[in-house]
Every structure is written in C-alpha cells, then in structure tokens.
C-alpha cells in the first residue's frame, strides 16, 4: 500500500537500552494470518511477514523489521509486551491484541445480548490486569430495555464501570461520554456482533472505516473474512491514545483460567468463601459450602452463581 493509505499510528516510546535487532522499528497495526501491517514512528506503513514459521505476532506488538523491499519487510524481533489479551477454548487460543491499557465491552438490548459474554470479557480483562469499561449502547431503544437495565444495575452492584450511550440516536452525546474515557489510553473494543461497536468506533475514529477498507483490499480479503484486530491512532483525530478494534464474535472462551483466577475476578462470589467445611471446597457439590448457602440466602444472585459454576466445572487445576 502507498504510504498515505494506511498511516494509522505514529508515536510510541522505545527503551534506549533495548538492543535493535533490525533497522526498522514500528507497531503492528493490522493483520490476517501471517500477513501484517507495520507502521513506523515516521508514519510509513508496509506489509511485513514474521521471519521463519513463527506465528507469534499480535496486533499492538512493537517490532523490529528489515528494510522493506517492494513494500514488504521481515519481522525479526518483538519487544516485550506490557499486556496481552486473549480468549481460549479447549482446542486453541485466540490472541486479541498486545500492549493495550483498557478493555471496553459493548452491549445493547437489541439484538439480544448474552450477559455471560460481558462477564467473561471482564474476567479476561482482570486476568490481564487491565481496567475495563462496559458500554451499554442503544439506550434509546425500548425493546428489551428492562433486561439491559437489569444488566447495568447488576454490573454496577458488583463494582464495574458502566456508561450508557446511543451511538445512532445521539452521536454527539456518545462522543462526549466516551472520548474522555478513551483519551490517552490504548483501548481494546470488544462486543458481540450487532451491538453497534462499529458505529462507536467510527464516531471515535472517523477514518477507521476507510482504513479497514484499505487493509482488506491490500490483503485481498473481504471485510467479513478479516478476523484480526486493528490498531487506530487517536492522534489523527486530534487526541491521544488508540482504539483497537476487534471483529464481533459470539463467544469469549476462558479455558486458560484456574479456579483461583475465576474467584479473584468475581468478588461477589469470593467474599462468601470463608467458612466452608472443606479447605479445598470448589463451591460446587460439596456439603457445608458457604457459597451455596449464600446463594440460598439471596446474598449471591442465582445467575451469577450459575455462571461461576459453569466456569468452575471446566477450570484448569491450579492453587486454591
């Protein structure tokens, strides 16, 4: 691609003590499979492939590359990551992005949302030691509004940060609400398909739709088949930080979490673990369980315990 087409990120710090393994330094801003786009500190963007057969490059990575030849370079080395967010099932791990500083989870009343998706995304953010923001979109819709209202109330009750917007009905208000929350941070945007995530992205990053189209054309891919994240620099919109977009998906797997990981990320469950008859109680089928007693007494919402139990039954073994 020409330099002007995909100049989507500009400035990021480099540790002067870090040895330079290759002459060109930049950030991975998009990719599909083994094809990646890297943008340098001067704004030049080029296609790059990982040296050898390694498949360890993630959008957001800071990388050292060879000089591009005919617009294509080789990625020689990857800088240590400050963060890595991923989802997993029993078969594979799907990385989402590296070096992000916040996770924003979008949901709406229509089409019907899955509370477990939101809760799983929150657990993944907690595991990656990242703050999370939940965005309830389409606040103006009356259809299924009560269900969404209850979801917001529960999230706030258990201590999560939630904002409510209407990206289509009130775009100016949406920008006014979200821009301060995104300013100065690299924010990963996730959500189920149809929740309005792309509308929010285009409000915050007006050039994003054009850049997405350019990436797809350069890689000879249709937009619906492009499954990797993309990094958009907010400096091009007069701000600071970045928005990292991910395609909408329906399931957020957490097969990599242990039982202790789950409990640490669910304080509404964890605060009731003291007093169980058995020191290694998993709070599932054991007699004398204080967590199950708290559910019976109405101190834990049944839907939250059901969510915990489903994860706990498949959690990896680990320290209690």
The C-alpha atoms of residue 108 and residue 114 are separated, in whole angstroms, by: 10
- Contact (CB, 8 A) for 225 and 282: no
The whole-number pLDDT of residue 90 equals 60
What are residue 94's DSSP bridge partners?
A: 87
Q: Is the pLDDT of residue 212 over 60?
A: no
- Contact (CB, 8 A) for 1 and 223: no
Q: Coil, helix or strand for 69?
A: strand
- 96-124 average pLDDT score: 93
Q: Is the pLDDT of residue 122 over 60?
A: yes
The C-alpha atoms of residue 168 and residue 197 are separated, in whole angstroms, by: 11
Residue with tokens 């304080």: 267
Residue 83: both structure tokens together: 């963060």
Q: Which of 11-20, 102-111, 144-153 is least confident?
A: 11-20
Residue with tokens 């360890």: 56
Choose among 34, 21, 41, 19: nearest CA to 72.
34
Q: Helices 115-127 and 302-314 meet at what angle, rounded to 10?
A: 60
- Per-residue pLDDT tens over the stretch 231-264: 999 988 888 999 999 877 766 778 788 999 999 9
DSSP codes of every residue in 204-249: H-TTHHHHHHHHHHHTT--GGG--S-EEEEGGGGTS-SEEEE----
Q: Determine phi and psi for 71, rounding to 5 degrees.
A: 80, 5
The whole-number pLDDT of residue 92 equals 66
Integer-rounded Cα Rg, in Å, for the chain is: 21
The C-alpha atoms of residue 311 and residue 320 are separated, in whole angstroms, by: 15
Q: Is the pLDDT of residue 278 over 90?
A: yes
Residue 314: both structure tokens together: 């498949």
Environment class of 4 (CB within 10 Å of its CB; exposed 0-12, middle 13-18, buried 19+): exposed
Name which residue leads in pLDDT, 176 or 250: 176
Q: Is the pLDDT of residue 121 over 70?
A: yes
- 184-204 average pLDDT score: 92
- CB-based contacts of 98: which residues, under 8 Å, 6+ apart? 58, 59, 60, 61, 81, 82, 83, 84, 85
Choose among 79, 148, 77: nearest CA to 118.
148
């Amino acid at each position: 691609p020409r330099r002007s087409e995909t100049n989507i990120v500009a400035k990021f710090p480099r540790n002067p003590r870090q040895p330079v393994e290759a002459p060109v330094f930049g950030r991975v801003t998009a990719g599909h499979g083994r094809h990646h786009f890297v943008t340098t500190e001067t704004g030049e963007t080029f296609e790059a492939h990982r040296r050898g057969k390694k498949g360890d490059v993630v959008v957001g990575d800071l990388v050292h590359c060879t000089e591009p030849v005919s617009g294509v370079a080789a990625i020689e080395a990857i800088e240590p990551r400050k963060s890595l967010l991923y989802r997993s099932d029993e078969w594979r791990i799907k990385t989402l992005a590296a070096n992000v500083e916040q996770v924003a989870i979008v949901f709406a009343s229509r089409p019907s949302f899955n509370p477990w998706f939101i809760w799983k995304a929150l657990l993944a953010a907690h595991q990656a030691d990242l703050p999370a923001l939940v965005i309830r979109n389409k606040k103006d819709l009356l259809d299924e509004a009560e269900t969404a209202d209850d979801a917001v109330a529960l999230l706030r009750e258990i201590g999560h940060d939630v904002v409510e917007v209407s990206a289509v009905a009130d775009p100016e208000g949406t920008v006014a609400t979200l821009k301060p929350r995104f300013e100065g941070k690299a924010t990963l945007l996730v959500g189920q398909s149809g929740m309005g995530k792309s509308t929010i992205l285009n409000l915050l990053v007006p050039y994003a739709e054009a850049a997405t189209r350019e990436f797809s054309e350069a890689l000879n891919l249709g937009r619906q088949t492009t499954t990797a994240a993309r990094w958009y620099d907010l400096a091009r919109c007069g701000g600071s930080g970045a928005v990292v977009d991910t395609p909408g998906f329906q399931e957020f797997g957490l097969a990599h979490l242990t039982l202790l990981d789950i409990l640490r990320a669910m304080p509404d469950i964890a605060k009731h673990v003291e007093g169980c008859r058995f020191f290694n109680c998993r709070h599932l089928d054991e007699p004398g369980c204080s967590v199950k007693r708290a559910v019976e007494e109405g101190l834990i919402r049944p839907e939250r315990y059901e969510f915990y139990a489903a994860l706990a039954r498949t959690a990896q073994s680990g320290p209690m």
